[in-house]
Each structure stands twice: as C-alpha cells, then as structure tokens.
Amino acid sequence: MARYVGPKLKLSRRVGVPIVDTPKHTSKRQLVYPGMHGYRGRRLRAYGIRLNEKQKVKYHYCVQEQQFRRFIAEAARRPGNTGEVLMQLLERRLDNVVRRAGLARTIWAARQLVAHGHVRVNGKKVDRPSYSVDVGDVVTLKDKVHKLAKEAMESLPGHEMGEWLDFNPSELTIRVVALPTSDQIPFDCNPNLIVEFYR
C-alpha cells in the first residue's frame, strides 16, 4: 500500500490549514507564503472544495484512500448523520486517542507508538493504529515508553483534551468515558462536504 513519506509540512500547505498542532505547521508564514515566490491562490470550484475537505481530514488522521472509503461506507450504514458518524469513527481510532491525550506530539508519532506494540487496551497489547476504542476501554502504555510520553506532554503546553476521554497523567492511563461529539473535535472541518464528495 502506498503511503506518503515526504515532508509533512507540504500536506498542511496543500490543504491550507495546519493538520498538526506543532509550531512548524501552525505558522501563518509557512502555510500562506511557501517558497521564494509565495503562493499564487486559485479559486476552487465545488468539486475542488469537497476534495480539499476530504484531503484535509485524511491527512489529519493519517488514513489512506482505500481505508477512508471503508470508513465512509461504515458511517453510511449506521443510523444518524453520516458526516458526524464518520468523524466519530475516525476520532475513536487508537492512534488518534493516544494523540488526543498528548502522549505523542503528532499523529505519526502516535501511530508509531501503537505499531511498535507499546500500547495496551484493557491490558492486552494492540499494535493496529486503526483499532477502534469503545466506551469503558482503558488505554495504557508500556513502562519503557513512559519517559518518551512525558517528554511529549511537556512539549505540548496548553494541550486540551476532549471531555470524552479521562486522562490520568501520573499513571499515563486513558479511559474512554463517552463517544466523541462534533463539538469535542479540535479540528475545523465540514464532514457533510466529504459525504457529498463520495455521492
């Protein structure tokens, strides 16, 4: 499966918003005026607006196209607003839960923590970043990565976490207390445009 291994800042520039909450991505100059000659803006049509919204969410959650289509299909099968259900499914991914708790600075770092087998869910090792957590699940880290996680927490001052997660910083444990709602997702996007893109 193809995956992007180039400079991550280019992804933020491509969609015009910071996909990661790090200074390099949130700097206005980096996003708006890349390169020697600056950015020559272009007006997006209806298709381009919806495509840009989809790409923005894909980059933010580090999901490939084929996997993203499966999320869309699953969201369409479930009752409720398809866009809100889609964001809820993406938000409940294990790598995203680790990132939201502040145990990793970026989604790529969180994904690596999970893939290398450093994360446990309810005491069992889970090495799939796409694993979906449920209400009542408890996420913990192996002892040998506690130092790394604490360094990541210190490098993210003022980090805010959604109320659907209960985080214990002394033990580095995360408990899922509720399902995430659209107002608890700290990423500005319009999921209804994404649903329209696939129709």
Cβ–Cβ < 8 Å for 146, 172: yes
**pLDDT score of 37:** 61
CATH 1.10.1050.10 in the chain, residues? 9-89+186-197
Residues of the chain with CATH 3.10.290.10: 93-178
Short-list 163, 158, 67, 156, CA closest to 103: 156
pLDDT top residue among 182 and 24: 182
Q: Match 């659907």 to its residue by tokens.
A: 164
What local confidence, expressed as pLDDT, does residue 66 receive?
Answer: 93
How would you class 66 by CB atoms within 10 Å of its CB: exposed for 0-12, middle for 13-18, buried for 19 or more? exposed
Position 151: which residue type? E
CB 193 within 8 A of CB 51: no
The Cβ of residue 130 has, within 10 Å, a number of other Cβ atoms equal to 18
- Domain with residues 9-89+186-197, CATH architecture: Orthogonal Bundle (1.10)
| pLDDT for 2 beyond 70 | no
Question: Is the pTM here over 0.75, yes or no?
Answer: yes
Given a contact cutoff of 8 angstroms between Cβ atoms, the answer to whether 180 and 164 are in contact is yes
pLDDT value at 188 more than 70: yes
Question: Domain 93-178 falls in which CATH fold?
Answer: 3.10.290
pLDDT in tens, 15-48: 888 888 777 666 665 566 556 665 566 778 899 9
Encode pLDDT of 78-113 as tens digits: 999 999 999 999 999 999 999 999 899 889 999 999
